[in-house]
Amino acid sequence: MPRSRARVLALVALLAVPGTVSAQVADDARVAEALAAARTWLEAERAYEQIPAVSAAIVHDQELLWSGAFGMAHPDRQVPATATTVYSICSISKLFTSVALMQLRDRGLVDLRDPVSKYLPWFQLHQQYAGSAPITVEGILTHSAGLPRESDQPYWSAPDFPFPTREEIIAGLKNQETLYPAWKYFQYSNLGLTLAGEIVRAVSGMPYDRYVRENVIGPLGLKDTYPEIPEQLRGGQLADGYSSLTREGTRDPTPFFQAKGIAPAAGYASTAEDLARFASWQMRLVRSEGEDVLKATTLEEMQRVHYVDPAWNTFWGLGFSVARRNDKTFVGHGGSCPGFRTQLAIQKDDRIAVVFMANAMVNTATYVYGVYDLVAEAIRAAAKKTPATTPAPDTASVPDLAPYLGTYSEQPWGGESAAIRWKGGLALMSLPTDNPLRAITRVKWVEGDTFRRVRDDEELGEEIVFERDASGRVTGYRQFGNLSPRVR
């Protein structure tokens, strides 16, 4: 459920840095409209995709603009999800492991150029390419070391997902060999980031989970983030996981799992609000040019491209995924484990971060980028205090838009159209859609309950006439004479 304004403001205070004045971007009317559109879209997508629960957060710098959830964390008992529901974040774990390793690098205890075997003498993976460069610390952080993707156990296999212990991972190395020469190709490797966690353990002299709790998770104030899925929260704060859609349009429950020895690469659990704090820390640190858990220069180093696949289709920093989209660079990571899909995406220039979490197997990139597209223009304008790019309607003559807001059936041709506030006026958003910004059509009030479609060139198109019942409630609208009845 969407958070109340009081809850949002309380979380703004939690995110704010002492001595920093918040811009309060959320107070801008354009941002409020965009956030409402994002909520409308996420709620509809959750329903159409039959996702049991979705939690999400939208951040501008140190301000949590919105966090909330839709659906059920425990569908069998009808327990609603919230922004503090815990999900497996799977490979987002790699960011925490990478931060821990770079902490040790900054202390002079690790050199990225060193071979992994310098820190892990037991790492004696067979190198099948005689001329290969060494498997280095930097190589495992950039997934370019030529390692196989996984340890030598079938832990992604249903029905029980038998993740190996640390001892089993080490023992399994004798059955494995390199996949490629080092630095030749990008090969995403859970084994590689598991080794990064082992280096943290070996160099710090502490168990991995204790080190990250005391040196990363705790100092960042992440009270609901765990380096292993917390079994004690099963049935409560931890959401149940569900499968991909079956042919019958259903999702099956997935069993509880823990990543055990693979935890540094895929074992963490967290919440939308904690990942929002994690994103705000990153934006705050870079701007500060100081040190807080990491040096600012180190985080910037991690978020720059360090490896490009020869096909020019994959770019990686030190632990961070780096992606270019519509001339904007995004950093972060996604996560995919049995029953859960999550993603954190940060657009550094705009200082906007989007967190998306689902307790089912879905395409998270659709959601983080869809939300970003809906909110980015308004946030940028509010942060810079620039005027709206779309001419504001004459509010003195436009009627109250509230009666028109809601969703209208487009069956059998499509799903629904949602009437939303957009850029100071009314708009219709087609649902479901993978591209919500492109699915928005602005309409302009003419008279009474009559509006007209606004074309891309700002000329007016056909009439859209809303209808009311005897009590005055809007019950539908007609476009080209055809009725779209109101459904909610």
Residues 231 and 366 in one domain: yes
How many CB atoms lie under 10 A from the CB of residue 148?
Answer: 17
How many CB atoms lie under 10 A from the CB of residue 469?
Answer: 10
Q: Which of 171, 198, 217 is the last residue of a domain?
A: 217
- The C-alpha atoms of residue 435 and residue 97 are separated, in whole angstroms, by 33
pLDDT at 110 over 70: yes
- For the chain, what percentages of helix, strand and coil (3-state, to nearest 5) are there? 30, 25, 40
Residues 410 and 331 in one domain: no
Task: Give the list of residues 6+ apart from residue 2 with CB closer than 8 angstroms, or none.
Answer: 39, 66, 68
Cis peptide before 159 (omega within 30 of 0): yes
pLDDT at 475 over 50: yes
Residues 243 and 378 in one domain: yes
Contact between 347 and 329 (Cβ < 8 Å): yes
Is 390 within the bounds of a domain? no
pLDDT at 355 over 60: yes
Predicted confidence at residue 388, as pLDDT, reads: 59
Residues 423 and 280 in one domain: no
Residues 198 and 148 in one domain: yes
Number of domains the chain contains:
3
- Identify the sign of the CA torsion 418, 422, 427, 431: negative
- The C-alpha atoms of residue 29 and residue 8 are separated, in whole angstroms, by 16
Predicted confidence at residue 390, as pLDDT, reads: 56
Query: What's the angle, vertex CA 180, arms to CA 179 and CA 185, rounded to 5?
Result: 120
Is 156 within the bounds of a domain? yes
Give 172-189 pLDDT, tens digit per residue: 999 999 999 999 999 999
Is 362 within the bounds of a domain? yes
Find where tokens 């840095």 sit: 17
Give 48-107 pLDDT, tens digit per residue: 999 999 999 999 999 999 999 999 999 999 999 999 999 999 999 999 999 999 999 999
Give CA separation, 211 vs 20, 99, 203, 205, 206, in Å: 30, 11, 11, 9, 6
Give CA separation, 480 vs 61, 322, 452, in Å: 45, 46, 11
Residues 87 and 235 in one domain: yes
Q: Which of 325, 350, 384 is the last residue of a domain?
A: 384
Work out the average pLDDT over 11-24.
41
Residues 376 and 413 in one domain: no
Residues 51 and 36 in one domain: yes
Residues 319 and 380 in one domain: yes
Q: The CATH number of the domain where 56 resides is what?
A: 3.40.710.10
Residues 210 and 267 in one domain: no
- The C-alpha atoms of residue 398 and residue 391 are separated, in whole angstroms, by 14
Residues 89 and 105 in one domain: no
Is 185 within the bounds of a domain? yes
Residues 236 and 370 in one domain: yes
Is 341 within the bounds of a domain? yes
| pTM across the whole model | 0.92
Is 392 within the bounds of a domain? no
Predicted confidence at residue 24, as pLDDT, reads: 83
How many CB atoms lie under 10 A from the CB of residue 9?
Answer: 16
**Containing structural domain, residue 432:** 402-485
- The C-alpha atoms of residue 345 and residue 351 are separated, in whole angstroms, by 11
203 HSE (CA, 13 A, CB side): 24
Is 394 within the bounds of a domain? no
Task: Give the list of residues 6+ apart from residue 90 with CB closer than 8 angstroms, or none.
Answer: 266, 268, 335, 336, 337, 340, 342
Is 395 within the bounds of a domain? no
Q: Which of 352, 384, 416 is the last residue of a domain?
A: 384
pLDDT at 164 over 50: yes
Q: The CATH number of the domain where 463 resides is what?
A: 2.40.128
- The C-alpha atoms of residue 225 and residue 89 are separated, in whole angstroms, by 10
